[in-house]
Amino acid sequence: MKLEVTLTSTRGLHARLAAKIVSLAHKYQSTVEVVYEHTVIDAKSLLGLLSLAIPSGENLQIITEGDDAEDVMRELQKLLSKEDN
């Protein structure tokens, strides 16, 4: 599954939000990747996500694959759509 999301967190992709993404991704067996400016990062990697340095208002793509791909996609969409993470 692929989904394009606008990062609405007022601080962009900061350490606490990245940690929440990693924690959520680890709850599922599916592979989860975040794509930003042609860079693909495993969403289960904190350092990888932080290296993207995505500012607020930017679009990113989430790609999930596996048996529970829809579930993890839905949870990530909820998390990333919150403005105050």
Active site annotation includes 38: no
Number of domains observed in the structure of the chain: 1
pLDDT tens sequence across 5-51? 998 888 899 999 999 999 999 999 999 999 999 999 999 999 999 99
Q: Which domain holds residue 18?
A: 2-81
Q: Could you tell me if 77 and 24 are in contact, meaning their C-beta atoms sit under 8 angstroms apart? A: no
List pLDDT tens digits, range 62-83: 999 999 999 999 999 889 877 6
Which is the catalytic residue, given 11, 14, 20, 44?
A: 14
β-sheet with 31-36: strand ranges across: 2-6, 59-65, 31-36, 39-42
d(Cα 38, Cα 3) in Å, to the nearest integer?
15
In 2-83, the DSSP E strands lie at 2-6, 31-36, 39-42, 59-65
Residue 25: which CATH number? 3.30.1340.10
Length of the chain in terms of residues written: 85
Residue 84 has pLDDT above 70, yes or no: no
Closest CA to 48 of 34, 59, 60: 34
Would you say the pTM of this structure is higher than 0.85?
yes
